[in-house]
């Protein structure tokens, strides 16, 4: 299972997502970025940051 902790990218955010499917995980991350952080699109440099901090749990 893969895990993403938003606080690893956005300091102070405690949102965490887990999913076996990395594609689904990214959909969840994009929804969270839009709904919570007001990002209509996730810039490529942020996608790179996200990819670096996704862990296997």
- Position 39 scores a pLDDT of 96
Token pair for 46: 């942020």
pTM over cut 0.85: yes
2, 20 Cβ separation under 8 angstroms: yes
Beta bridge mates, 16 = 5
- Position 43 scores a pLDDT of 94
- Cβ neighbours of residue 9 closer than 8 Å, sequence gap 6 or more: 46, 49, 50, 53
């Amino acid at each position: 299972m893969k895990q993403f902790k938003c606080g690893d990218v956005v300091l102070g955010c405690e949102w965490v997502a887990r999913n076996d499917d990395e594609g689904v995980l990214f959909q969840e991350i994009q929804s969270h970025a839009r709904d919570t952080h007001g990002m209509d699109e996730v810039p490529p440099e942020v996608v790179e940051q996200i990819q670096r901090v996704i862990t296997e749990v």
